[in-house]
Structure 1
Amino acid sequence: MKTLATYFCTVLLMLFGLQTFAQVSLTRDLDNFRYPDQRGINQFEAPKDTASTFNGVNVRIGGASTIQFQALNHESTGVPLDGDGNPLALIEIGDNFNLPTANLDLDVHLYDGVRMHLRTYLSSRHHPEPYVKGGYIQIDKLNFISEGFMEDLMKNVRIKIGHMENNYGDAHLRRSDNAQAIYNPFVGNLIMDAFTTEVGGEVYYFNSGFLGMVGVTNGKLNQSVGNPDTTDPSFIAKLGYDKQLNDDLRFRLTGSVYHTNKSGNAYLYHADRAGSRYYLVLENEEASTSSNFTSGRFAPGFRNELTAFMINPFVKYGGLEFFGTFEKASGKANSELDDRTFNQYAAEVLYRFGNEENVYIGGRYNYVEGEMMGGTDIDITRFNLAAGWFMTKNILAKLEYVNQKYEGFPSNDLRNGGKFDGVMVEAVISF
């Protein structure tokens, strides 16, 4: 609590100083910005708009707070051993509230066509103390060089630079990012949660519904100048089409690739430090909420080489929408001789209705299959049913039923014959 209070006081003093000495104004509206409320639903990348509202440096203070009530049951036939050779059983879990999570966002309009974003996790499952997720500078105009510089080109081009969430696939643009859960119609993210933050840059091109992006990063989640020969750059690319074809029909289709040839620790499926929404499921009796923060997720273990492809179709007709994911990831750890492959499939169907589509119901099917280290073929299946209500554009209440099953895991793995199911209730405030 002392850490949180100190952090908030520091931020407030900084903002007061900015207002006093730099004549900074506080605003809720920014250019080329995806709003963190109901207006940002299904927006994916931030919109590209050549209109300008810049009138001096503007600071937008935003954030999110989220809490879940969890009522899940789990079971397993696997019997792992502890360090002394004694059998471990499943941890006993009950019905209760999870740790509330919180984010703080600073979005700053620095210059005409130049914006900065910084997100701090104030509280998360893995880190109850505040820590910075990352941030970036987004450049949609080059007027800071000279007025109108390369204006025709920049009508279609965007540049992002930072230690930031890299734009591989579309699924990460619908996921819950710690407390920022308003874009996600469900409570949990995908089983193989493709999400990473690395230092790099991305260049975008938008034109009449077509979008393209190429990016390069240093391939590191945790930044360090040590061990320079262990990691090569990672490359990311996305190509797609997104168009409102008529008043009722919108169509989007994208394909993405992420590739790293050599990494000290490839983090694409390990990078979410905030934690899974399904607390302590299929964990042993010695587990803790913070140290076992990935429960319910699965990472294929491609620690040192990785190539992943993702295809995402999105169709919205009136209030009915479909979002799909097909992902193929191949790679290995240095200790392995040959590459392994995992495939992920997900399909979401939602129907939004009511005043300004403020109510929805829907379902999601998620399936992962592939070869684990050691040659064992496994598969994981998850089925979700969900309903949500936007009480206001900033407040969302969700109800979800989840059923997840594990097949093919070794007998000394708690996921052998594993299953969890039950109900989650989540309340989200985002502004």
Structure 2
Amino acid sequence: MKNFAKIFLSVAVCMSLANAEKVQHVFETPKDTTPFNGVELDWGVDLTFTFQGLDQNYGAEIKDGLALPTADLDLEAKVMSGFNVKLETMLSSHHHHETFVKGGYATMDNLDFIYPGFAKGFMDNATISVGVNDINYGDYHFRRTDNADVMRNPFINNMGIEGYMQAGFLEVLYRMPSLNMFVLGGITNGEVNPDDIADGQGKDAYGFYAKAGWDSQISDSTRVRLTESLFMIEDTSKSRLYMGDKAGNVPRKIFGSDDFGAVWNAVSGYKDLTASNTNLFIDCDKTGTEFFGLFEYADGVNQSDEDFTMVHYSAEVVQRFAGDKLYAAARYENATVEREGDALDDELTQYQVGLGWFLSKNAMMKVEYINQERKNIASYGQDVKFDGYMVSAALSF
């Protein structure tokens, strides 16, 4: 309880710093159509404290305590008409205790820097993005905890399997406003540091991804969004799609890993991979109810050319109260992986229940119970499990 009180006090004391709302775009960022009146610079800071009280049946005993606080610093600049750049830096993370540049990228909402009006008919509804960042595969990456950036996630922990990658990319997003739809296509090298690429090792393989979505306010109080994403890569030895996080997991010391034990890289070592990801989001302002569902199917071959298939799904419900200041949330997740030559399928099941409280637009607290089980995974030699509670407090300004 003393540690819990310290977290609460830290937030209460720092609330005086939270004097500017940090804008959170739930999904894709809208086009920037504002006029250019000179270079504009903006910045944002995230700071999160987390206390964990977890138990597990594999690996060393986990001691209750406060984890290393995490912090981010983001710099954004508008440098030309419709041309914005962003630099994301992790000041402290569970995997990189020292300052680490997560990535940087540019978004172009017009091509007037080539000459005024260039490709205007296309660019009126398009955005081109290039750099190093989260690739836009699925919708889950918009809702996950990203190091200290936790406001968008109603839970403390992320899912047990994450189709999520930070890498170099180039993508084009095209909107069709009259249909409430959009389409997107992109390419990625799967690498944050291209100097790691070695010829002849398959590391120079490029992945291709695409996304199509329908997002509509079907009534005054109800928004529905349905998206389908696809990712494809061949002849690679860098299986990054399910191990793309550079910050480390929220909980520490899970299953003998300091930083990445809480998330299962279910198809580790793939050579060829095709994955599809379907997401449904429903938000009803009138009742304060929110639903987010995911269904993912992936198949391919490993480095030994053995087949595998993964089926992964999750469903979460968030109920908000008191003018969205308070909420309760629950999530269920399951995944099975069938591997050539294995008698039994590998399986992960995770469920989470939590409560959240927005002390202000810039400060919040969460408490959560999490239970994760993994079965039939040969590397463990037994069925493994961790469960317990976590508490976090966060500032974003």
TM-score (norm 2): 0.88
Alignment pair present for 1:40 and 2:24 = yes
Counterpart of 1:198? Answer: 167
CA-to-aligned-CA distance 1:70-108 (integer Å, 9 cap, x gap): 0111124xxxxxxxxxxxxx2121211011011111111
Partner residue, 1:305: 272
In structure 2, relative to structure 1, the CA distance for the partners of 1:398 and 1:226 (3 Å cut) is: closer
Q: 4+ runs of 1 displaced by more than 6 Å?
A: none
Could you tell me how far apart the structure 1 residues matched to 2:377 and 2:301 are?
A: 19
Q: Equivalent residue for 2:388?
A: 422
**Structure 1 residue 247: deviation in Å?**
1.3
- Amino acid across the alignment from 1:190: M
Cα distance in 2 for partners of 1:161, 1:337 equals 33
Who is 2:377 aligned against? 409
Change (3 A) 1:69 1:155: same
Deviation (angstroms), 1:301? 0.9
Residue 273 of structure 1 is matched in structure 2 by 246
| Aligned equivalents of 1:169, 1:67: Cα separation in 2 | 28
Change (3 A) 1:95 1:373: farther
2:132 paired residue among 160, 163, 176: 163
Query: Which runs of structure 2 are paired with 1:134-283 in the superposition (5 Å)?
Result: 134-208=103-177, 209-224=180-195, 226-229=197-200, 230=202, 231-283=204-256
Tell me, in whole angstroms, the C-alpha distance in 2 between the residues paired with 1:206 and 1:226. Answer: 34
- 1:349-428 alignment runs, 5 A limit: 349-355=317-323, 357-371=324-338, 375=342, 376-410=344-378, 413=380, 416-428=382-394
Corresponding letter in the other structure for 2:232: H
Does the CA-based 8 Å contact 2:106-2:129 persist in structure 1? Answer: yes
Mapped contact 2:166–2:246 kept (Cα < 8 A): no
User: Following the alignment from structure 2 to structure 1, what is the Cα–Cα distance between the partners of residues 113 and 122?
Assistant: 15
Alpha-carbon deviation of 1:372?
5.1
Equivalent-residue separation in structure 1 for 2:334 and 2:138 (angstroms): 17
Aligned match of 2:310 = 342
Query: How many residue pairs are counted as aligned between the two chains?
Result: 371
Residue in structure 2 matching 1:92, options 49, 52, 61: 61
Equivalent position of 1:7 in the other structure: none
Change in Cα spacing, 1:267 to 1:225, as seen in structure 2 (3 Å) is: closer
Consecutive unaligned residues in structure 2, runs of 5 or more: 1-18
CA distance in 1, matches of 2:340, 2:45: 40
Alpha carbons 1:182, 1:396 under 8 Å: kept: yes
Contact 1:221 / 1:267 at 8 angstroms: preserved in 2?
Answer: no
CA distance in structure 1 between the partners assigned to 2:35 and 2:30 by the alignment: 14
Question: 43, 54, 65: which is aligned to 2:36?
Answer: 54
SS at match of 1:224: helix
Deviation at 1:109, TM superposition (A): 0.7
Report the counterpart of residue 13 of structure 1 in structure 2.
Answer: none
Q: Report the CA distance between 1:49 and its aligned residue.
A: 4.7
Q: In structure 2, do the counterparts of structure 1 residues 373 and 395 end up closer, same or farther at CA, with 3 Å as the change threshold? A: farther
Cα deviation for residue 217 of structure 1 reads 1.8
Q: What's the offset of the Cα at 1:333?
A: 2.5
What SS does the corresponding residue of 1:40 show, helix, strand or coil? Answer: coil
Query: Over the residues paired in the alignment, what is the CA RMSD in angstroms?
Result: 2.0
Runs of 5+ consecutive residues of structure 1 not aligned to the other structure = 1-27, 30-34, 77-89
CA displacement at 1:304 relative to structure 2: 2.2
CA distance in 2, matches of 1:216, 1:228: 19
Alpha-carbon distance in structure 1 between the residues aligned to 2:131 and 2:230: 20
Q: Is the 8 A contact 2:53 2:390 kept in 1?
A: yes
C-alpha separation in 2, matches of 1:400 and 1:54: 44
Partner deviation per Cα, 1:127-154 (whole Å, 9 max, x = no partner): 1011111111000112222333333322
1:418 & 1:168 partners in 2: Cα distance?
29
The 2-side partners of 1:279 and 1:218 are apart by: 29
1:202 Cα deviation after fit: 0.3
Is the 2:160–2:372 Cα contact (8 Å) retained in structure 1? no
Judged with a 3 Å threshold, the aligned counterparts in structure 2 of structure 1 residues 374 and 96 are, in CA distance, closer, same or farther, namely farther
SS of the residue corresponding to residue 421 of structure 1 reads strand
CA distance in structure 1 between the aligned counterparts of 2:189 and 2:56, rounded to whole angstroms: 40
Identity in percent: 37
Q: Is the 8 A contact 1:301 1:373 kept in 2?
A: no
Residues in 1 aligned to 2:252 and 2:196: alpha-carbon distance in whole angstroms? 35
* Residues 56 and 175 (structure 1), Cα distance of their counterparts in 2 relative to 1, 3 Å cut: same
Q: Which amino acid aligns with 2:385?
A: K
Assess, with a 3 A threshold, how the Cα gap between structure 1 residues 66 and 260 changes in structure 2: closer, same or farther. Answer: same
Q: CA contact under 8 A between 2:254 and 2:260: conserved in structure 1?
A: no
CA, structure 1 residues 397+235, in 2 after alignment: closer, same or farther (shift >3 Å)?
same
